[in-house]
Chain A
């Protein structure tokens, strides 16, 4: 391994600008004659818009335009859309309600977009929004998903009776029922997967600019997938033709899913820029992020696991109610269905599984993919059930897992996933060893001597990344393919520009992608630059989410690099006067096999461009190749996390005493970067399990609307983590990579809840397990003890 090759801990290329304050995030960019947009947002969770009087606002100082849903309709802008069609079990299509960029006739959650003011300055825009007089007809609201289908509940979209978007099912109900009939033991749990607000620290922002001279549009946006944004705004919303439209995602300050989607704000910025004839910029205030970024999770689930007398799993039955919010966000429909149920088999050979999911509308912000997206929810269900089953059977939770692991690959689960490679026992045993699990009892006694309660919890997670191939996702209802593109452009001096359809908003592509290409081409990393996030530069791309940049994005680069090498070999054959078959490429050098005749990569690049020494009728000049890579299967990262907690029974405060993560991500390009991803993922998982919970009150008002009430994980909430690996290569892509971005967020919550319930002594601890929740749970423990 070279100092910068695959597997090396290379320091990041992108850090120079970030540590010196020279990053260029959307809000750092200014355009000549720009204007500011500020939105009038609904203060009501559910209301009709009877009228909007904007006359006074229009006359306020600095105001250029006040636009409403009427204007959106007049310009015939298409609705925001949900790009994944999910069919109900009766075959009927999901009930997608109308979602204009600015509300028309009705608002459906607090923060919904009612009007926009475009003004010279932000202060002027804000002052004017206060003067936009909206006459609302307040309607009853339903914010709690458990009440959404109540016959008396408010009806949110006319075309979705009982607020039901779909009633979906995956698996074999009859087989499951038969297995349950034979079961010796059934573990049953009611589980709430708490609603989260993503909170990338950079708020969303957009600048729209229309250029009348060329009739072209440019949008700077905090997007995780600029090409998809452009496609959506062109093809579905109909803002402008795709080839006249450039979308730039510059430095983006974290996404976690929330910046995948097509939102009203950027739609309005680009649309309004043509109307006012000047660039229009908008940057969310954090309060707006809380209200109007797509939220995550929000499931209520009943899970039942059937086992035989030996602890062998027989069947799993899952019924989930999923909150989709007031509108269907861009990929929302797929999250609690196709990104959820196919992972319910966990790491186990469970012969029969059925999962029913009912998606509902509520008067809350749209819910869509948030780090892990469906997979943390699935992992939570199966790993809670397994842990509790072990407790009920008086078995060691590790042993129950061992007895049920999938050990033969490929393995076809009953819920569509085809596991291709893994060694689940290896990661479990390694985690057990690092966590010193055998001495847990001693540590528990020691804690008790100090008046503390100690618990340990496991999470043997599996997830799926790089959702693909495209024809399969198409059959499942996706509106797009999920391949990735790459272009390798070699300059005459042998420098390499890597253009990728992936997008980095913290994932370190500028480093790891360059590392890969450096390794493959045998040239120094500083001869390579990675370009992403600009539709005028990169041919196309599906963007970065679902831990796909490694397995899909880098695979595309490999294919393109291999094409460059193949072409360069043809050129080299002429330069070195040998047969193409005799040219070998290694360590940045083309060599004629068995001779000392060679040429460096840079020499061949120059030769390719000057084109003096080969027949251009056979070999085109230049050295530039591209690839569109479509994987053959998902990848399946897996591993085991073990968490140990200590609880202060007087206050209910949980302290994480130890955290061990052993992950199998297949090939790792840069362990430093991968471990960073794991740390961050765990922190978000700990946030979900211990601290974060989005709360709406019964009227649909957002109670957790700022950092004063929404608890973000801080440094003092977290320990340092012990992170290690086991490795099985992924067989379905050229590098053997599996993806690592979400694993921590998927594995962590259930490990923590398993540990806390272990300490508390019963299973009735809600998530987030705040000190309040744990203290109340402990009062229950006391009452139970007293009753005994």
Chain B
């Protein structure tokens, strides 16, 4: 990879100042950034390692929310007794990201800041209506994900934590890409009683999206059968060698039903 200057700030203020520079990237778990640098798909002048900032990986249940620090590693979320108790669907999702080694390094903040259209976490954030807390503001998930690898984050803005409202029940169902093991299709469903949310990753040409007609049908009755007859349109659905749009759209329906069933609906 091309060389760069490496910084390891001790707090978010220093980190933000460093990240305000041009050609600078934050290094969280590194599981996307480092391969991209290795393959010279990207190059930067500065790498700001967030690993030296204490407390960014805390996980706490706070009232009706689960608060997960941005630097919490996937393995931490997957095995955290707090997450398993408060929001088992999130622990289960984290357990399915990448492979054990990636889960030991990759982080929640790194994943959603990258907003890979096939990543798992964006589905949980959108499906739970999470709030992304940065050093500057609080961003609702509905306004955070802005298309392929694009987010609402500005320069010098660092994700500190993600606040997940706790649903009555929720589940994530993933159909992995056979090669990369990213989500070919992943569907997160959450029943909040007054609201049902369904978020789909891996399938959308613009990244993670909400399946509004599924939400409406499930709000009437939160059961897999409510999704019978809802055909996911192929427009806007990704097509590649692993799944053409017709197959992917079909899988969205199958995974959604399975998620609802797994959530107990």
Residues of A within 8 A of B (CB): 123, 126-127, 287, 650-652, 691, 693, 695, 703-704, 707-712, 717, 770-772, 775-776
Contact = CB atoms under 8 A, between A and B. Distances in A.
B254 A709 contact: no
Nearest to B250: A775
Contact of A708 (B2, B180, B243): B180
A704 B179 CA distance: 10
B178 A650 contact: no
Nearest to B175: A651
B2 to A, nearest CB: 8
A772 B243 CA distance: 6
B228 interface: no
Contact of A772 (B40, B242, B254): B242
B241 interface: yes
Contacts of B180: 707-709
Contacts of B39: 287
Contact of B178 (A287, A703, A711, A775): A711
A contact face: mostly helix, strand, loop, or mixed: loop
Contacts of A123: 3
A158 to B, nearest CB: 33
A691 B251 CA distance: 18
Given A126-B40, A287-B39, A772-B242, A712 B247 contact: no
A704 B241 CA distance: 9
29 contacts: A123-B3, A126-B40, A127-B2, A651-B175, A651-B251, A691-B178, A691-B179, A695-B241, A704-B241, A707-B179, A707-B180, A708-B179, A708-B180, A709-B179, A709-B180, A709-B241, A710-B179, A711-B178, A712-B179, A717-B178, A770-B178, A771-B178, A772-B242, A772-B243, A772-B244, A772-B247, A775-B247, A775-B250, A776-B247
B22 to A, nearest CB: 21
B203 to A, nearest CB: 13
Interface in B146-181: 175, 178-180
Nearest to B39: A287
B136 to A, nearest CB: 33
A693 B242 CA distance: 10
Nearest to A773: B247
A238 B250 CA distance: 59
A14 B250 CA distance: 50
Given A650-B254, A709-B242, 20 more contacts: A123-B3, A127-B2, A287-B39, A651-B175, A651-B251, A693-B241, A695-B241, A704-B179, A704-B241, A708-B179, A709-B179, A709-B241, A710-B179, A717-B178, A770-B178, A770-B242, A771-B178, A772-B242, A772-B243, A775-B250
Contacts of A772: 242-244, 247
Contacts of B251: 651
B34 to A, nearest CB: 14
Interface residues of B, number: 16
Contacts of A695: 241
Nearest to A123: B3
B243 A711 contact: no
A651 B241 contact: no
Interface in B235-259: 241-244, 247, 250-251, 254
Contacts of A691: 178-179
A129 to B, nearest CB: 10
Nearest to A126: B40
Nearest to B258: A650
B25 to A, nearest CB: 19
A711 B244 contact: no
Contacts of A712: 179
Interface string B177-209: 011100000000000000000000000000000
A678 B247 CA distance: 35
B251 to A, nearest CB: 7
Given A123-B3, A287-B39, A770-B178, A651 B254 contact: yes
Nearest to A648: B254
A712 B181 CA distance: 11
Contacts of B242: 709, 770, 772
Contacts of B243: 772
A695 B241 CA distance: 8
B103 to A, nearest CB: 15
Nearest to B244: A772
Nearest to B251: A651
A652 B39 CA distance: 33
Contacts of A711: 178-179
B57 to A, nearest CB: 28
Contacts of A771: 178
A126 B3 CA distance: 12
Contacts of B178: 691, 711, 717, 770-771
Contacts of A710: 179
Contacts of A693: 241
Interface in B101-117: none
Contacts of A704: 179, 241
Contacts of B241: 693, 695, 703-704, 709
Contacts of A770: 178, 242
Contacts of A775: 247, 250
B175 to A, nearest CB: 7
B13 to A, nearest CB: 33
